[in-house]
Amino acid sequence: MGAVAINNERNGVYAVVAITKHGVEIARRLGGALVGADVYYTEKFARGDEAEHGIRLFSGNVKTLLPELFARYDGLICIISLGAAVRMIAPLLKDKKTDPAVVVIDDKGEHVISVLSGHLGGANELTRRVAAILGARPVITTASDVQQTIAVDLFGREFGWEWESDDNLTPVSAAVVNEEPVAIVQESGEPNWWPAGRPLPKNIIVYGSIAEALSARPTAALVVTHRLLAPKEEAILQNGVLYRPKVIALGIGCNRGTSADEIEAVIRETLNELRFSLKSVKAVCTIDLKKDEQGLLEVVNKYRWKLVAYTPEELNTVPIEAPSETVFRYTGAHGVSEPAAKLYSGADRMALVKKKSGNVTISVALIDHRRRKESEPCDGLSSLRQEAEPAKRL
């Protein structure tokens, strides 16, 4: 008989799977202590209280159950021998960017082993959490974790940074763990990407500019910027990874009924003129009268940007360079795009004060995390006033 789950609905983000008497004990323990864990074990060891605790029973070979769990959960925690687990998941592997985390625990609960998707899938962190619950030893073999150096594929991930391309992740990671010279150039984004109090590995050097890094001829590079690189700078990416921090606040005003296509076109055109990356946009900011504007909602949903709406009273607290009596007459605010971008970013100086294009008005501001206090959140209103790039009028 094939393996059959009692409940096909996923409640948590992790599936804990056990097939032995001792494994069931461990699974039940994790089910009560690990947030987001759904427990599965063979009906042979049913105790009668499984429905009460939301535990799923299955019959037959666990091998027939794993493909379903592999596809549905962010992580699998298998209380099965390492060899058996590897053989069962091998046919299911697709890509490290999409495969779930897989963690294996021995039958006595003494070792928790990160098996698959240690970085991108979160198996290494899950291994540490499970080991802490069980009082077990975490076994992690990823070189960057073992050597306590930068994990290139996770660099800035907690802040939402995105790669421009993953083509060089492997060779750059190799340079990091092999202690070859690696340059870091950061022009924008959160500065606290390395644990405070711990020195950077000696082979990793932070440079003040791309030109300075290129002069040093490093083996590899990590570049963090919202800018589109100039042709003479692109040599840094021959063996480099470009990260896009979320630092751009777009202030948007538009006429009622403006299409998503027009709004998106203005955004793309404006960012190209500024030589800024679309991937570095963090939020679209506007007046609360526009919070239900269909075209605007379609654009922010497409790119998964935040939509931040302010009242006219909030917008009027911000000094602006280009107030409009027409806008005030219709909205009660002296401006929309400029003060909205300023409010969200905390910037005094705008990258773009204001541009009118068809039915859309756009302003652009940059969040400068170097000027923020560590305890201050990056979102919402800010009393800090920061210097961004010199304002441009397009």
Given CA atoms 92, 93, 95, 101 in this order, what sign does their dihedral have?
positive
Q: What is the pLDDT of residue 386?
A: 28
Query: Has residue 343 been placed in a domain?
Result: yes
Query: Looking at the structure, do residues 282 and 225 belong to the same domain, yes or no?
Result: no
Structure tokens given for 154:
């996770």
Query: Looking at the structure, do residues 308 and 216 belong to the same domain, yes or no?
Result: no
Q: From CA 277, how far away is CA 161, in angstroms rounded?
A: 12
Query: Looking at the structure, do residues 228 and 255 belong to the same domain, yes or no?
Result: no
Angle at 253 between CA 270 and CA 378, to 5 degrees: 75
**Structural domains in the chain (count):** 3
Query: Looking at the structure, do residues 339 and 309 belong to the same domain, yes or no?
Result: yes
Q: What are phi and psi of 285, to 5 degrees?
A: -120, 140
Query: Looking at the structure, do residues 99 and 85 belong to the same domain, yes or no?
Result: yes
Query: Has residue 394 been placed in a domain?
Result: no
Query: Looking at the structure, do residues 119 and 169 belong to the same domain, yes or no?
Result: no
Q: What is the CATH number of the domain that holds 201?
A: 3.40.1390.40
With 0.95 as the threshold, say if the pTM is over it.
Answer: no
Query: Looking at the structure, do residues 275 and 170 belong to the same domain, yes or no?
Result: no
381-391 pLDDT per residue, tens: 322 222 233 34
Please identify, among 141, 175, 194, the residue that sits at the C-terminal boundary of a domain.
141
Query: Looking at the structure, do residues 133 and 227 belong to the same domain, yes or no?
Result: no
- DSSP H helices, the chain, are 21-33, 50-53, 66-72, 82-89, 123-134, 143-146, 169-177, 210-216, 260-274, 294-303, 312-315, 325-331, 337-345
Structure tokens given for 53:
């605790």
For residue 25, is it left (φ>0), alpha (ψ between -120 and 50) or beta?
alpha
Containing domain of residue 230, as a range?
A: 153-244
State the virtual CA torsion across 340, 373, 392, 293 in degrees, nearest 10.
-20
Q: From CA 241, how far away is CA 223, in angstroms rounded?
A: 6
Q: From CA 305, how far away is CA 42, in angstroms rounded?
A: 43
Query: Has residue 2 been placed in a domain?
Result: no
Query: Has residue 104 been placed in a domain?
Result: yes
Query: Looking at the structure, do residues 312 and 359 belong to the same domain, yes or no?
Result: yes
Q: Please give the biggest Cα pair distance in the chain.
A: 76
Q: What is the CATH number of the domain that holds 28?
A: 3.40.50.11220
Q: From CA 29, how far away is CA 43, in angstroms rounded?
A: 17
* Distance, C-alpha 346 to centroid of its chain: 22
Query: Looking at the structure, do residues 117 and 133 belong to the same domain, yes or no?
Result: yes
71-114 pLDDT per residue, tens: 999 999 999 999 999 999 999 998 877 889 999 999 999 999 99
Let me know: does 16 contact 69? Beta carbons within 8 Å: no
Q: What is the pLDDT of residue 150?
A: 86
Query: Has residue 363 been placed in a domain?
Result: yes
Q: Which residues of the chain have pLDDT under 70?
A: 1-10, 118-119, 143-147, 371-394
Query: Looking at the structure, do residues 239 and 261 belong to the same domain, yes or no?
Result: no
Query: Looking at the structure, do residues 320 and 301 belong to the same domain, yes or no?
Result: yes
Q: What is the pLDDT of residue 4?
A: 44
Query: Has residue 392 been placed in a domain?
Result: no
Please identify, among 141, 176, 198, the residue that sits at the C-terminal boundary of a domain.
141
Please identify, among 244, 275, 301, the residue that sits at the C-terminal boundary of a domain.
244
Q: What is the pLDDT of residue 10?
A: 56
Query: Has residue 173 been placed in a domain?
Result: yes
Q: What is the CATH number of the domain that holds 288?
A: 3.30.420.180
Query: Has residue 384 been placed in a domain?
Result: no
